Chains A and B, each alone.
Chain A
Amino acid sequence: MRRSIALAAFVLAAMGIGRLITDHVPTGDVADKPFTHAGVVGEKVALDYADVTVTGVHVTPTIMGNPASAAGGRFLVVDTELVATREPVFMAGFFLVDASDHRWISSTRGSECVTNAKLSTGVRHYASFCFDVPKRALSGARLVATRGMWTSHESEFRRDDLADVDLGIAAAEADTLWAGTDPVNVKESGPVPPAEARR
């Protein structure tokens, strides 16, 4: 009798410990969390496989082109320079994260706006990503750049290096940026510096 009570207590304790581990030990974080490298505009973020630099940030209702593209909210355009360091890299994950950690996906609509980058080792690649977002996504927005593409379950970049670049938009600036009407001419993505690009 005492033996079976002890066994029951043992089983209950084992189940309890299991529950405590799954509830309170961040196993998911350990298994899935990417390695985040924070940065700011104009500063190179060195990842394991590539260097990521955000060179410019624009907010506009219109991206020039033929035809011009109109935003449902506003386009937040992020210009980047990317260099693969060790081997050719295909980077497919470029998205915006706002102050409340919500993710926004880059648009395929704007002329010359891209959603991924094929990098050849050592060759500087220029790429602009355009996010069609509502006003609440502007202040405190960050660009996240990594290899895995966006999916609803975010498993594509687990345990990968990830650049998290603060785009430097203060809450007070959001209204002014939102009110701006100047169209933006997005430069062609590729190895040609934007200053020399044809458009």
Chain B
Amino acid sequence: MSTTATPPTRATRPRRPSRWWMAALPVAVAAMLVANGYRVPVFWYQSGQHHELASGDRGEWVRVTEEYTDAIGDTTRTYEVRLAGLGGESTAYEDDGGDEFTLADGMVARTVDLDFRAAPDQALKNCAVTLVDDEGRQYRVGHISDGIGPSVTNCVPEETPGPSVVIFETERRGALPPKEKPRPTEWSSSPTIAVPKDARFVEVRISFENPDYVTLRLPR
């Protein structure tokens, strides 16, 4: 250390403590969060229903245009949907192989009556229909990881379901298997979902791909 007797020169003057790290610290923290941020879309946003495309009340037509990517590239599906209501209280249901079984534990198969309008070239097979009750519990049919209930034609007519999503580059969008008639431009479908008999439902969700969904509200 220099003594105070001699005036400090450039060489002997005590250096001020470095402070640049104080400014760098928030930058480093932000960089760390951004670098880890991929987990949010991958493990949360894209893995569930988190993006409401459109919504409407029972009896109201809701127009939906949804962007998705198939084997050829980016495309859209456009349709209109209307919730007519809920019905049915049967305990007969089917497993993923189409075999019938009887629901137990107070569960019943509730039908969700839906009306659709869409151009015949729109790919509307394999939709998932979810009933949400007033406790937030979700009952679903048609999703790839649902083990019971029909999977392909929940939102389309069984005999004329229309085109599938293109999974090979060589396919043509909107193409139908030979001998299959085109889907009408307006139709109704009534998918059934296994739910507790006493549950009170607040909404129906239609979803083709996570995270997108459409909400159709039921009156409370």
Residues of A within 8 A of B (CB): 1-3, 83, 85-88, 90, 117-125, 190-193
Bitwise interface map of B from 124 to 165 toward A, beta carbon under 8 Å scored 1, else 0: 000000000000111111010111110000000000000000
Q: List 21 A–B pairs whose Cβ atoms lie within 8 Å, in order of A's numbering.
A: A2-B1, A3-B1, A86-B137, A86-B138, A87-B137, A88-B145, A88-B146, A120-B146, A120-B147, A120-B148, A120-B194, A121-B137, A122-B105, A122-B194, A122-B195, A125-B147, A190-B95, A190-B147, A191-B103, A192-B95, A192-B101
Other 13 A-B pairs with CB < 8 A, given A120-B148, A122-B137: A1-B1, A3-B1, A86-B138, A87-B137, A88-B138, A119-B147, A120-B140, A120-B146, A123-B107, A125-B147, A191-B103, A192-B95, A192-B101
- Asked if B140 contacts A87 (CB within 8 A), the reply is yes
Within 8 Å of chain A (Cβ to Cβ): is B196? yes
Q: Which residue among B95, B148, B196 has the maximum number of chain A CB atoms within 10 Å of its CB? A: B148
Bitwise interface map of B from 196 to 219 toward A, beta carbon under 8 Å scored 1, else 0: 100000000000000000000000
Q: Which residue of A lies closest to B101 (CB)?
A: A192
Contacts of B141 on A, CB cut-off 8 Å? 120
Cα of A90 to Cα of B196 in the assembled complex, Å:
20
- Asked if B101 contacts A120 (CB within 8 A), the reply is no
Cα of A193 to Cα of B102 in the assembled complex, Å:
10
- Asked if A122 contacts B196 (CB within 8 A), the reply is yes
Return A195 CB to nearest CB of chain B, in Å: 12
Which of A83, A88, A191 is B101 in contact with, Cβ under 8 Å?
Answer: A191
A3-B1, A88-B143, A191-B95 known; A121 and B101 CB under 8 Å? no
Which of A1, A191, A193 is B148 in contact with, Cβ under 8 Å?
Answer: A191
Within 8 Å of chain A (Cβ to Cβ): is B25? no
Within 8 Å of chain A (Cβ to Cβ): is B5? no
Interface of A is mostly: loop
Within 8 Å of chain A (Cβ to Cβ): is B42? no
Cα of A102 to Cα of B148 in the assembled complex, Å:
34
Within 8 Å of chain A (Cβ to Cβ): is B32? no
Cα of A83 to Cα of B136 in the assembled complex, Å:
17
Within 8 Å of chain A (Cβ to Cβ): is B24? no
Within 8 Å of chain A (Cβ to Cβ): is B33? no
Return A123 CB to nearest CB of chain B, in Å: 5
- Asked if A121 contacts B139 (CB within 8 A), the reply is yes
Within 8 Å of chain A (Cβ to Cβ): is B22? no
Within 8 Å of chain A (Cβ to Cβ): is B104? yes
Cα of A122 to Cα of B149 in the assembled complex, Å:
14
Contacts of A117 on B, CB cut-off 8 Å? 147
Contacts of B143 on A, CB cut-off 8 Å? 88
Contacts of A120 on B, CB cut-off 8 Å? 139-141, 146-149, 194
Return A47 CB to nearest CB of chain B, in Å: 15
A120-B147, A120-B194, A122-B194 known; A88 and B105 CB under 8 Å? no
Cα of A122 to Cα of B147 in the assembled complex, Å:
12
Contacts of A193 on B, CB cut-off 8 Å? 104
Cα of A85 to Cα of B137 in the assembled complex, Å:
8
- Asked if A124 contacts B104 (CB within 8 A), the reply is yes
Which of A2, A118, A123 is B194 in contact with, Cβ under 8 Å?
Answer: A123
Cα of A118 to Cα of B137 in the assembled complex, Å:
17
Cα of A124 to Cα of B95 in the assembled complex, Å:
12
Q: Which residue of B lies closest to A121 (CB)?
A: B139
Contacts of B138 on A, CB cut-off 8 Å? 86-88, 121
Return A48 CB to nearest CB of chain B, in Å: 13
Contacts of B196 on A, CB cut-off 8 Å? 122
Return A174 CB to nearest CB of chain B, in Å: 35
- Asked if B136 contacts A86 (CB within 8 A), the reply is yes
